[in-house]
Structure 1
Amino acid sequence: MTQDEYLFRFDALQEIINIGGGNAATSLSKLIERKVEMEVPTLEIMDYDQIYQEIRKEDEVVKAVLMNIVGDREYGVFLFVANPVNAEKLAQMITPTEVELTVELIDSAVNEIVNIIVHSFMTAIMKIIDIKMVSSVPIMAEDMFGSIISSVYMEQEQYDQQILIIKNEYYSLGHKIEGSLYFVPRPGVLELLLQQLGL
């Protein structure tokens, strides 16, 4: 694949991400019954080691939601990461103000938000690329960021050190939803997606 072909396909992938982000904003608006606005999502393909230098420190404690993606093959894992304070803010967006936020309720609310976001991106991908994808139920974990990322890498047998990072920001009534959505692909999957976009 030439550099020009790669850039063309990366731009096409960015457009899919934009569509997925818009779908997520619409779905979240319906869930909370008020308008949700979205900043244009940013997309990066980053090496594993860069994550700790540019995104989050390895020893930062985070809440993470994992969703395995499969179809006619195993595609990889979507991983949404937020620090505990932002996770609580996310939960506040979809929880009535009179309800006391327990840890279980926060985790459940964040799982639901991530489920909506991931399925919005999956739907956008499947409309452009002729592949079928289904996801597992969301799984919440709380640990150091480095421990979570390294565990996902080992489970995916990922050795080429690449990760797809989608950064989203959504706003509603002064509340801000901010978080990083990572896609850790199985070996060869990222190349497959880029090739399919070139057809």
Structure 2
Amino acid sequence: MEIKNYDDLGSMEMDTLREVGSIGTGNAATALSGLLNRRVRITMPEVRIMEYNEAIDWIGGPENVTAGVLVRIGGDIGGIMLSVLPLEFVNMVLECMLDNKVEEFEHLDELQRSALVEVGNIMISTFINALSGLSGVTMELTVPSLTVDMQGAILAVPMAEYGGQTDYLMTIGGNFTCDDYELPCRLLLSPEIRGLNYLLRKLGVTNG
């Protein structure tokens, strides 16, 4: 029997998604290391299914301003993927790529914003490519977009698109370690339910 909501996922499905999340985020850390020319690792990622408000609290609270790089997914699976970049992570990126940093998000100039889009896109596309390679599922990505807003507003995007299907979100979180300094970073993968069922079948997971 196919799942109808994220909260229908059982232990076997969650274990499979955790393994996929670990491989995907590991590949994202490797790609980020090459871009920044720094040693970048990822702690063991958490894959969690959470309600909207719980997910917002998990990434730092609804009123905290952050940067988000959003990519829409097409092909065999529809959905979106969001990279949430806190200010300390942003400044690490800017120092490595442009030798500067900002005190507040509103101080970002066009070149700095382009650098963040590039980093977010590399992490997301590397993750998706790993997922596609593991499952044999074709996944196409749109051009990434950068938004700077309160986290509650940024996270409202997946809920607006897929909230009619479920009140839950799939979150993949972990801390990137750059030169032994730990930085939080959150990835949010929100596939449509039909696509999630297809992905699980391709990964060899049966439902029911």
Q: TM-score, structure 2 length as denominator? A: 0.80
State the Cα distance separating 1:156 from its structure 2 match.
4.0
Tell me how far apart the structure 1 counterparts of residues 95 and 15 of structure 2 sit (CA, whole Å): 34
Contact conserved, 2:86 with 2:184, CA < 8 A, in 1?
A: no
Which aligned segments of 4 or more residues in structure 1 are displaced greater than 4 angstroms?
99-102
Residue deviations 1:139-196, cap 9 Å, x none? 0011122222223322346431121111122222244442111122234333433343
Percent sequence identity over aligned pairs = 28
Contact conserved, 1:41 with 1:168, CA < 8 A, in 2?
A: yes
Root mean square deviation of aligned Cα: 2.6
State the Cα distance separating 1:109 from its structure 2 match.
1.8
1:123 aligned residue (129, 132, 139): 129
User: In the alignment, does 2:72 pair up with 1:65?
Assistant: no
Tell me how far apart the structure 2 counterparts of residues 21 and 139 of structure 1 sit (CA, whole Å): 20
Residue 119 of structure 2 aligns to a residue whose secondary structure is: helix
User: In the alignment, does 2:198 pair up with 1:192?
Assistant: yes
Contact conserved, 1:62 with 1:143, CA < 8 A, in 2?
A: yes
Give structure 2 stretches of 5+ with no counterpart. Answer: 4-8, 103-107
Distance 1:24 1:55, change over 3 A: closer
- In the comparison of the two structures, how many residue pairs are matched? 195
Give 1:179's aligned residue.
185
Q: Which structure 2 residues correspond to residues 152-171 of structure 1 after superposition, within 5 A?
A: 152-156=158-162, 158-171=164-177
Q: Which moved more, 1:188-197 or 1:42-51?
A: 188-197
State the Cα distance separating 1:90 from its structure 2 match.
2.7
1:86 aligned residue (73, 89, 96): 89
Tell me how far apart the structure 1 counterparts of residues 58 and 111 of structure 2 sit (CA, whole Å): 31
Tell me how far apart the structure 1 counterparts of residues 110 and 176 of structure 2 sit (CA, whole Å): 23
Distance 1:39 1:54, change over 3 A: closer
Give structure 1 stretches of 5+ with no counterpart. Answer: none
Tell me how far apart the structure 1 counterparts of residues 31 and 58 of structure 2 sit (CA, whole Å): 30
Q: Which structure 2 residues correspond to residues 2-41 of structure 1 after superposition, within 5 A?
A: 6-41=10-45
